[in-house]
Amino acid sequence: DTGVSQNPRHKITKRGQNVTFRCDPISEHNRLYWYRQTLGQGPEFLTYFQNEAQLEKSRLLSDRFSAERPKGSFSTLEIQRTEQGDSAMYLCASSLLSVEAKNIQYFGAGTRLSVL
């Protein structure tokens, strides 16, 4: 068990460019969550997957954002036409939804995005 892995750890981009982040969850976990954390705030829910199905998206997730989890394994979060307001830490978490595991979420170290 290597934990939740996120790549890259840091991304600097120019406004208007597209960026993609990757999250590799803990292998047996069936749920995967994306959160966004801005400076001085707690993480805010963006979206989540159960296996390969994306089951909910927050209103924070504008149509410039898209997330996928092909084959129910790793996930990608893409931001198109980045804006300065997209600068934040993007956190991924995975969990096992079961009576025993109670869906405790384990977080990756995050990807810090800076949009210039």
Q: Which residues bind another protein (CB under 8 A)?
A: 4, 6, 31, 33, 35, 40-45, 48, 55-56, 91, 93, 95, 97, 102-110, 112
Closest separation in Å from C-beta 73 to another protein:
20
Cβ closest to another protein, residue 33 vs residue 65: 33
Cβ closest to another protein, residue 18 vs residue 103: 103
C-alpha R_g of the chain: 14
Please name the helix (run of DSSP H) or strand (run of DSSP E) that holds residue 21, with its range, or none. strand 19-24
Would you state the structure tokens that stand for residue 87, as one six-digit string? 């600068």
Please name the helix (run of DSSP H) or strand (run of DSSP E) that holds residue 54, with its range, or none. strand 53-57
Cβ closest to another protein, residue 80 vs residue 112: 112
Closest separation in Å from C-beta 13 to another protein:
19
Closest separation in Å from C-beta 4 to another protein:
8
State how far the alpha carbon of 59 is from the alpha carbons of 32, 56, 67, 94, 104, in Å: 18, 10, 14, 21, 24
Closest separation in Å from C-beta 16 to another protein:
26
CB-based contact 11:111 (threshold 8 Å): yes
Cβ closest to another protein, residue 74 vs residue 107: 107
